[in-house]
Structure 1
Amino acid sequence: MSCRRKQPELFKSENTRKPQKDSVFALRVIFLDDSEHVFEMEQRVLGKDFFSVVCGHLKLVESEYFGLEFRHHCGSYVWLELLKPLAKQIKRRNDLTFRFIVKFFPPDPGQLQRELTRYLFALQIKQDLSNGSLTCNDNSAALLVSYLLQAEIGDYVEELDKQHLDNKRYIPNQECLHKKITRFHRRHRGQSPAEADGQLLEVARKLDMYGIRPHAASDGEDMRINLAVTHSGVLVFQVATVSSKARLSISSFNTAIFCVLGKY
């Protein structure tokens, strides 16, 4: 994602002099394709202004589905708050790295209007598969990887598929699924990258963990839980140990109003 765009006038000093070096952040953003770009922003600007410049760099129109996250001084990742100045959010001056990722997953990816948006969603699914956060059965995993192959290298060619799967890891247990992946890939002949991305999202949206990104929290009894905000409401994950096995219980709240208290 190397397209460049001139910074809007908003981010220049109010007078004709350049801003002082100590009043400017050099903010590194890692995009979903693993490319990086450094943005120089004055510390006083709001998070939404920085986010707008990042989206402008990508020429992204449907920006409402995305966000920037960074490592808070407490060690966990948090979202950039759009209505707060950068200076009030960034405490770790030695680590000014942000990750541009999908923040909101629509229940039907078909409502995404732009090809670029669907491509970015496909990259997010690819990333979540690779790091194990999007869990699914072997059949679904192999089908998803086959669509990624179609988008990246085109129609099935035995030797090319083998080389690609040997050199790139899409899922943790990939070696066990080579035959299943290539069998699916054969069926996608003639699909364009955009069509393959669309099919990938159609499969992904039916998975139980689609669009779920748990965040550590604790309940009123100080029990460790995970919270996730999805298109259907708030999910609460609770892990209990029973007979040396982890049991995961999920509660869904789609009509309640929550007040979440915490400290950083």
Structure 2
Amino acid sequence: MSLLGSSGNGKTWHVKVTTMDADLDLSSIDPCIMGRELFDLVCRAIGLREIWYFGLQYTNKKQIPCWLEMDKKVNKQEIPKQDDGSLHLLFLVKFFPEEVEEELIQDITRHLFFLQIKQSILNMDLYCPAEASVLLASYAVQAIYGDCDGDVQLELSKLLPQCVLDQYDMSPQMWEERIRRWWTNNNGLSCEEAEMEYLKIAQDLEMYGIQYFPICNQKETDLHLGVSAHGVGIYKGADRITPRPFFGWSEIKNISFKNKRFNIKTMDKSAITFRSIDASVNKTILDLCIGTHSLYLRRRQPDSLEVQQMKVQAKEERLRRQQEHSRYEREKDYRAEVERERDRLKTDLEMLSDQMRNIQNAMKRTEETAELLAEKARVSEEEALVLSKRASEAEAECQRIKIAQIKAEESKMTLERKAREAELIAARLIQESERRAREAEASRNNLLAAGNRSYPVNYPYDSQIAGAEYGGGTYFGDQYQRATVPPDPSANRAFCTDISSLKAEIEKERSEYNQKSRHLQEQLSDLRGEIDSLKVDDRQTELDRIHAEHVNAGEDKYSTLRKSAAGSARARIQLFDGL
């Protein structure tokens, strides 16, 4: 039968399939095709080979989620049509593995699981305590954005469930700071590794992989049936965490229903009977139980040839991806090294540029100083020439003065000699004058004595006075003033600035920070201790209180299941009937 085409009456359907990361529009679908054929068509369209985990879900007219039946024609199933006449189906995980790391093979399988679990936590369909929510958010941002980047704006509404945000007296900045702190611990993880770490943590959540259906026991007590990869559990009231009781798949022999009544037979031939609230989900419950039990048995058998081939291909793909990641990390480290070297060289260049500017300024000042000194040297040279000329003239004047002084000394000696001679002549003249005066006096006296007899008197006064020629001595002052010759110009001062050379070797980068591997429970305990003081008790839900009791008692999901599965099947059935 052709998938695309028309049935006998020429009518085709338009089917819209929504996966977790894409929308598929399938037009011209024959309404008579089997559910398996439509499912295979979707799987081929998205490149999925691990088809046994998935299914197509729709909401029936009673608003109850139902899975498309594979062995039934599409037009025979109660799939409501949209306003435009098309069919709308959701491509979702239907069956969950026990151990995601060992069982999920393809990248697309892991990615679809990651998206669905993440959305279930955000929608609060899957209970997740606050400490686990923050840790999961750190792996989610690592898978989405890569290594921690301070420029990335985190949207808390897409990372943490609203109930967690409401239960603590913490601002968005405080939540973001804690997510970023844990995000930095994930540096180096690839997208695939981060998604797998996310799923490994999520699979330890108490409600992970459990699909709940409302049921009643013989006392008409409202209960929930939980179907998971580990078995079937009965949950009472709002407690979706602690099964009362729990039956592992290894204990279950047969599951059947008639009308609304279900029977689960155990290996010891005991039977648990309950009634579903709505008969429309009976086939869904049975289908889930059969499919989950089949996968449970399949895990404990050797892998089929197809699975072996897929694992080999996945291993080769992981190896190739690891090599690419290693090459990418090497290139990233090399690029970081180059960028650091570039930054260092840029810093050195800026430093050298500053030094060059300083040197140029110093050279400019040196040139200006040299020009000034050259000008001063020229002026000093001219002054030296002038002073040298003056010195020569002064020396000549000095020689002339010395000669004049010698002549003056000679003249002085002559004058002294003439002075002495003049003194002698003067003395003789004085003596002669005195003698003649005495003779004149005597003559006068004789004349007086002789009376008035007139005698021609001859005064033989022969005044021979040798005039003493005064030789005016000439004073020669010290007219020569000592000429001071300036010292030789000093040598120009050299402004020598040493330019620091570049370092010969580049400093080796510090060894990469070795991330401390912490145990998951220790991480959650540390984070729980961080935010526990900010918890608002009035805002805690019933699931929060139950989870806190389990943590205080040192129990986890698996210890709770073991505890609920303890005892004989008959005793647990009696416990169920007594609820």
Please give the range of the TM-score, normalised by the shorter of the 2 chains. Answer: 0.7 to 0.9
Residue type at the aligned position of 1:112: L
| 1:177-232 Cα distance to aligned partner (Å, 9 max, x none) | 32221111010111110010111111111111111121223333333222221111
| Partner residue, 1:5 | none
Distance 1:213 1:139 in 2: 24
Distance 1:219 1:247 in 2: 16
Decide whether the 8 Å contact of 1:126 with 1:170 is kept in 2.
Answer: no
Q: 1:138 to 1:81 in 2, by over 3 A?
A: same
| 2:113 maps to 1:113 | no
Alignment of 1:80-119 (within 5 A): 80-94=68-82, 96-110=87-101, 111-119=103-111
Matched residue SS, 1:38:
strand
Q: 1:153 aligns with which of 117, 129, 145?
A: 145
Residue type at the aligned position of 1:182: R
Matched residue SS, 1:201:
helix
Distance 1:230 1:238 in 2: 16
Please report how far the alpha carbon of residue 142 of structure 1 lies from its aligned counterpart in structure 2 after TM superposition: 0.6
| 2:256 maps to 1:259 | yes
Q: 1:181 aligns with which of 176, 179, 182?
A: 179
Q: Is the deviation greater in 174-183 or in 53-62?
A: 174-183
Residue type at the aligned position of 1:258: I
| Partner residue, 1:36 | 23
| 1:78-129 Cα distance to aligned partner (Å, 9 max, x none) | 1111011111113523362111111111111012111111111111111111
Q: 1:91 to 1:135 in 2, by over 3 A?
A: closer
Distance 1:148 1:247 in 2: 28
TM-score, normalised to structure 2, is 0.40
Q: 1:164 aligns with which of 144, 154, 172?
A: 154
Please report how far the alpha carbon of residue 50 of structure 1 lies from its aligned counterpart in structure 2 after TM superposition: 0.6
Q: 2:55 aligns with which of 67, 90, 102?
A: 67
Q: Is the deviation greater in 221-230 or in 100-109?
A: 221-230
Matched residue SS, 2:186:
coil
Q: 1:231 to 1:168 in 2, by over 3 A?
A: closer
Q: 1:74 to 1:167 in 2, by over 3 A?
A: closer
Q: 1:225 to 1:55 in 2, by over 3 A?
A: same
Please report how far the alpha carbon of residue 19 of structure 1 lies from its aligned counterpart in structure 2 after TM superposition: 4.5
Number of paired residues?
Answer: 243
Decide whether the 8 Å contact of 1:216 with 1:224 is kept in 2.
Answer: yes
Q: Which runs of 5+ in 1 are unaligned?
A: 1-8, 240-245
Matched residue SS, 2:192:
helix
Q: 1:74 to 1:146 in 2, by over 3 A?
A: same
| Partner residue, 2:534 | none
Decide whether the 8 Å contact of 1:228 with 1:235 is kept in 2.
Answer: yes
Matched residue SS, 1:258:
strand
Please report how far the alpha carbon of residue 67 of structure 1 lies from its aligned counterpart in structure 2 after TM superposition: 0.9
Q: 1:193 to 1:178 in 2, by over 3 A?
A: same
Residue type at the aligned position of 1:108: E
Distance 1:219 1:67 in 2: 29
Decide whether the 8 Å contact of 2:58 with 2:66 is kept in 1.
Answer: yes
Matched residue SS, 2:255:
coil
Distance 2:221 2:12 in 1: 41
| Partner residue, 1:51 | 39
Please report how far the alpha carbon of residue 247 of structure 1 lies from its aligned counterpart in structure 2 after TM superposition: 5.0
| Partner residue, 2:192 | 194
| 1:117-176 Cα distance to aligned partner (Å, 9 max, x none) | 11111111111111012212211111111111001011111231xx12257344223546
Distance 1:112 1:91 in 2: 30
| Partner residue, 1:25 | 13
Q: 1:127 aligns with which of 119, 127, 135?
A: 119
Matched residue SS, 1:90:
coil
Residue type at the aligned position of 1:253: F
Distance 2:201 2:9 in 1: 48
Decide whether the 8 Å contact of 1:150 with 1:185 is kept in 2.
Answer: yes
Distance 2:61 2:8 in 1: 25
Q: Once superposed, what is the RMSD of the aligned Cα atoms?
A: 2.2
Residue type at the aligned position of 2:144: E
Distance 1:28 1:170 in 2: 29
Bigger fraction of residues in strand:
1
Q: 1:47 to 1:182 in 2, by over 3 A?
A: same
TM-score, normalised to structure 1, is 0.84
Distance 2:215 2:145 in 1: 41
Distance 1:193 1:93 in 2: 38
